[in-house]
Structure 1
Amino acid sequence: MTVTAASTSRKLSGYDLYRALGSPKTVVAPMVDQSELAWRTLARRYNADLAYTPMINAKIFIQPKLKQSAKDSQYDLTHGEEGSTVDRPLVAQFCAHDPVALLAGAKAIEHTVDAVDINLGCPQEIARKGRYGAFLMDDWPLIHSLISTLHDGLNVPVTAKFRVFETVEKTVEYAKMLENAGAQILTCHGRLREQRGQNTGLADWDKICAVKEAVKVPVFANGNILYHADLAACLQATGADAVMSAEGQLYNAALFAPARPLDPLPSLPSSSASADVGSSSTSASAETPLDQAYLEDLASLSTGLQPRHATLALEYLAITRLQSTHTASSAVKGHLFKLLRPALARETDLRDRLGRCQGALFASSRSLPDEKLPAPHEPLDIDHMWPEESDKCAFADFAAVCREMRVRMERDERAAARAWAAAATQEGDRIPDDEGLTPAHRALGAYIDQRTGVRVLPHWLAQPYVRPPRPEKGKAELAAEAASLAKKAAQAEAAGKIAQAEEARVGEKRASAAIEVAVGEDESKRVRLGAPAEGDVYG
């Protein structure tokens, strides 16, 4: 469903907009170089109700001397696929600190999207230097101007994605200001601006809940989404209207889909097992397909769909070759490293080969294939070699890695299935232990990571990556950190750099608070400055 001035007699607001978008519950976050058209297309095949574009830099996008190809790399208006019927509903995210430039950029593409979002959440250093994202949080008059300018000047609604403050009270006040300025949907990322990288920590769902209770417009919750079960837990805890995921969805494009048994592996004679994929044939390939009991038990490890990651990777590649819109090689490489991550630590040669993939995605002489992109409910052909795999290009190299990974993972899965069958015949094989795993599950390689408390699935399945917590800091180290941050804050205040000063003061407070519990306490009570959670590198 699309929401434009052409399809409505008035610009939609609040819950009218939400309903026109299809009352989404699952949302793909705006992610630089990662939520591009091909990825959005894959996500929609796996229950994504709504998607955001990667962040568009308004200042760059409207430069008159900028070549159209450079503009198309941010948002492609040339080929007509972005924002088309199959790419809806769609929200385009912009970053800016100049209301005039922001409006000009948004006006250029408003006819192809359902709403325009303002990035108020990016915490990275590039956002500080460019003066956008979370580094506008201390300039409320400017933020109000950015939102109200779009609200008054666009034919489509404006939305905003933001991070929380240290206190619930200031967070709620901030959210109300965004609403009053004209934002029709608020996406609340429950982390502070300082929570990034190794200091990512957990998102605060209580603050999201407070925002939801305080405003009248729909609220999307963002943060702490690792597995499918987290979706319902987040909705219940926050009362939000939808859940947005960034990093969790990148590691499993099927994050939003409910669990179901995977398709059986094919039964292939060993002589032809690798006819289309290389020379990694093994005798295991001649075995009969995996039985239904095994596939159902494998699916029981999660409430959501955890596909074979090599399958997801090949499906993504299949989409990139069937679209006219250019997909950057850097985006493809980033996606493949995340999707295949559970196995890359084992298959180090494939990891190294993937790292060496570079250059243009396709050969310059290549013509777009005649076949059309299948509908979301129709399968993608990934079982036969594509013509582009014979070319000298990055796509051919990416495909070779993914196909070889698929062969190796099928080999490993068949071996694990034999171990599962042996365990499943033992008495008590279906009785879960204290960690919720049966002996048969453990025979597949499932376990609980004691560093993070997160369930790790068999390595051939797509699954989240959780950063291990940083080692605990001692009192002396924390004191030195607090003193250093206090000095940094004082210098920033003297220079009139309010945002930098505020960030340093918050860090100083956290380090000082940690000192109080870092000495003489049980390990489990210590403040963990690097608690595992969903990543924070996106707008």
Structure 2
Amino acid sequence: SQNDASSPPLVLAVYASPKADEVRRQEAQMRGTLTSGRLRVFRLALLLFLAMLPSKGAVTTTVSRLLGVSGPVYACAPMVQQSELAFRLLCRRYGVNVAWTPMYYSKHFAKADKHGRSYRQTNYDGASPAETGPLIVQFAGDDPDTVLTAAQYVEEHENVAAVDLNFGCPQSIARKGHYGAFLLEEPELCMRIIDKLATNLRKPVTAKIRILPDRQQTLDLALGLARSGASILTVHGRTKEQKKQFCGSADWTRIREIVQHLEQHGMGHVPIIANGGMASFADCQAALDVTGAAGVMSAEALLEDPALFAHAIGSGVPGFGSGLDHLTPIGIARRQLFLADEYMELAREHTPAHPQPDAVIKAHLFKLLHRCLAAPGNEPFRNALGEAKGFEEMRCLVESLSANYEQVEAAGKGHDPGIVARSWY
């Protein structure tokens, strides 16, 4: 029917269902190409299609449609000063198929004055044509209108697949700024922010959360965010209290409970990405098995090993498919120095978007080369990196460390466990 006066009762019931957010997003994409009557038919057909799909099939469809990814998501986490363009490009070479930008503070990003322009020009790197895979831009903030304004600056960029809300940062700065995991204490505010963006953006909206101490509150939160319009939820299996020396183990069973809860309440098409406690590719596979999630996200483990997911793509570089712990000591050193050299070349071409780009590069080198720099006898190299000023000094340091390991290998000490240290993670 082409009559705009009213909608059939069945269509109204459908539009009020738990999957209405998915229908609204699809409808927004079709608006302007279909008449209103045909839009109602499209809306009904889409919802019925989603309802008939098995949960796993619905999730696979959502991931493929939103991100263009087939199979599990292997994600590079949003990391302040660390998930910048050069590092994302390195990780993408070795299996990362979806990457998050660093977190951007929406109050600064949204300003239309010279301070806002300066903040965006200095910190944002999501529009580079060098990055062709799906990119998710993360914002932190507590005001729906401000976060929306910030998101509207980036939604037109071609490689931006979605806009993400940071509801997971547990650090004291997030408490002071009233964002991150501290907003989880105000679930209605979190849902209002998601709803505001999902209603007004043309790109999908996602959210990254932590679990709450109370199981039911966690389930209610995840379901509420999904119903408010979150297309994907990334769940860190730790509470905000679990950080630094109190970090403890991530609870993957709590993530599984969220997956099951969404399935039971008609939102099984919303993919869950599991985060936390994955130090190796074997851990990632175990997390997928335990949680039933659509993918996994790594942060700190990727900082040491950007090739963490290399096994997923069968990297042709020797030693890159098995992980660090399966290599000889000299194999570990070679691998890490190779990755550090690759990162330096990418950082030379794509200077980190940060007020102090050299500090970003140096932080990456300390993580990438930790096993080498922390080994007995390598203190001079560690100190030299700490004192290095500028890109060229850091590059020369990496070359000197590489030459040192060539001498170690030539001396027949390549299998000596003492030539590399244990992981910092």
Partner amino acid, structure 2, of 1:94: F
Superposed displacement of residue 75, structure 1: 1.0
Task: Name which of 330, 335, 359 aligns with 2:359.
Answer: 330
Superposed displacement of residue 88, structure 1: 2.1
Alpha-carbon distance between aligned partners in 2 of 1:34 and 1:85, rounded to the nearest angstrom: 18
- 3-state SS, counterpart of residue 220 of structure 1: strand
Match of 1:71 in 2: 120
Match of 1:505 in 2: none
Match of 2:14 in 1: none
Superposed displacement of residue 231, structure 1: 1.1
Superposed displacement of residue 345, structure 1: 1.9
Contact 2:83 2:102 in 1 (8 A): yes
Seen in structure 2, the aligned counterparts of structure 1 residues 298 and 333 have a Cα distance that, compared at 3 Å, is closer
41-50 vs 167-176, greater mean Cα deviation: 167-176
Match of 2:336 in 1: 309
Between Structure 1 and Structure 2, the one with more helix by share is 2
Alpha-carbon distance between aligned partners in 2 of 1:250 and 1:335, rounded to the nearest angstrom: 7
Seen in structure 2, the aligned counterparts of structure 1 residues 41 and 298 have a Cα distance that, compared at 3 Å, is closer
1:177 maps onto 2:224 in alignment? yes
Task: Name which of 114, 136, 152 aligns with 1:91.
Answer: 136
CA deviation profile, 1:85-142 (whole Å, cap 9, x unmatched) = 6342110000000101000000000112110010000000100010000010111111
Seen in structure 2, the aligned counterparts of structure 1 residues 209 and 198 have a Cα distance that, compared at 3 Å, is same
1:445 maps onto 2:425 in alignment? no
Contact 1:134 1:163 in 2 (8 A): yes
Alpha-carbon distance between aligned partners in 2 of 1:301 and 1:226, rounded to the nearest angstrom: 13
Partner amino acid, structure 2, of 1:111: E
Partner amino acid, structure 2, of 1:109: V
Contact 1:262 1:299 in 2 (8 A): no
Task: Name which of 283, 294, 304 aligns with 1:230.
Answer: 283
Alpha-carbon distance between aligned partners in 1 of 2:155 and 2:62, rounded to the nearest angstrom: 15
Alpha-carbon distance between aligned partners in 1 of 2:345 and 2:323, rounded to the nearest angstrom: 26
Match of 1:202 in 2: 249
Contact 2:108 2:119 in 1 (8 A): no
Superposed displacement of residue 203, structure 1: 0.5
**Equivalent runs, 1:348-363 vs 2, <5 Å:** 348-358=379-389
1:395 maps onto 2:424 in alignment? no
CA deviation profile, 1:165-216 (whole Å, cap 9, x unmatched) = 1132221111111111111101000001101111111110010110111112
CA deviation profile, 1:151-178 (whole Å, cap 9, x unmatched) = 0010001001000011322211111111
Match of 1:408 in 2: 404
Contact 1:94 1:118 in 2 (8 A): yes
CA RMSD of aligned residues (A): 3.0
- 3-state SS, counterpart of residue 170 of structure 2: coil
Contact 1:187 1:220 in 2 (8 A): yes
Match of 1:524 in 2: none
**Equivalent runs, 1:134-153 vs 2, <5 Å:** 134-153=181-200
- 3-state SS, counterpart of residue 137 of structure 1: helix
Partner amino acid, structure 2, of 1:18: V
Alpha-carbon distance between aligned partners in 1 of 2:123 and 2:325, rounded to the nearest angstrom: 40
Superposed displacement of residue 465, structure 1: 2.2
CA deviation profile, 1:51-76 (whole Å, cap 9, x unmatched) = 00000111011222316343123213
**Equivalent runs, 1:135-534 vs 2, <5 Å:** 135-215=182-262, 216=268, 217-258=270-311, 301=326, 308-323=335-350, 326=353, 328-346=357-375, 347-358=378-389, 394-415=390-411, 418=412, 443-445=415-417, 459=420, 464-466=423-425
CA deviation profile, 1:313-357 (whole Å, cap 9, x unmatched) = 110010112236646212111100000101112311111111113
Structure 2 gap segments, 5+ residues each? 1-24, 32-42, 51-57, 263-267
Seen in structure 2, the aligned counterparts of structure 1 residues 141 and 67 have a Cα distance that, compared at 3 Å, is closer
Pairs aligned (count): 354
Contact 2:109 2:116 in 1 (8 A): no
- Select the structure of larger CA radius of gyration: 1
Seen in structure 2, the aligned counterparts of structure 1 residues 76 and 27 have a Cα distance that, compared at 3 Å, is closer
Contact 1:41 1:87 in 2 (8 A): no
Contact 1:261 1:298 in 2 (8 A): no
Match of 1:27 in 2: 75
- 3-state SS, counterpart of residue 186 of structure 1: strand
Match of 2:85 in 1: 37
Partner amino acid, structure 2, of 1:341: H
Seen in structure 2, the aligned counterparts of structure 1 residues 297 and 142 have a Cα distance that, compared at 3 Å, is closer
Alpha-carbon distance between aligned partners in 2 of 1:300 and 1:262, rounded to the nearest angstrom: 16
- 3-state SS, counterpart of residue 385 of structure 2: helix
Alpha-carbon distance between aligned partners in 1 of 2:251 and 2:324, rounded to the nearest angstrom: 30
Contact 1:40 1:51 in 2 (8 A): yes
Alpha-carbon distance between aligned partners in 1 of 2:62 and 2:232, rounded to the nearest angstrom: 8
Contact 2:167 2:184 in 1 (8 A): yes
Normalised by the length of structure 1, the TM-score is: 0.61
Match of 1:109 in 2: 154
Contact 1:59 1:96 in 2 (8 A): yes
Contact 1:261 1:299 in 2 (8 A): no
Contact 1:260 1:299 in 2 (8 A): no
- 3-state SS, counterpart of residue 201 of structure 1: coil
Superposed displacement of residue 311, structure 1: 1.1
Partner amino acid, structure 1, of 2:387: R
Q: Aligned residues: percent identity? A: 37
Seen in structure 2, the aligned counterparts of structure 1 residues 413 and 182 have a Cα distance that, compared at 3 Å, is farther
Alpha-carbon distance between aligned partners in 1 of 2:323 and 2:62, rounded to the nearest angstrom: 39
CA deviation profile, 1:229-262 (whole Å, cap 9, x unmatched) = 1111110011111000000010101001127785
Alpha-carbon distance between aligned partners in 1 of 2:229 and 2:153, rounded to the nearest angstrom: 20
Alpha-carbon distance between aligned partners in 2 of 1:296 and 1:232, rounded to the nearest angstrom: 14
Normalised by the length of structure 2, the TM-score is: 0.76
Contact 2:310 2:321 in 1 (8 A): no
Alpha-carbon distance between aligned partners in 2 of 1:300 and 1:261, rounded to the nearest angstrom: 18
Partner amino acid, structure 2, of 1:74: N
Match of 1:473 in 2: none
Contact 1:235 1:241 in 2 (8 A): yes
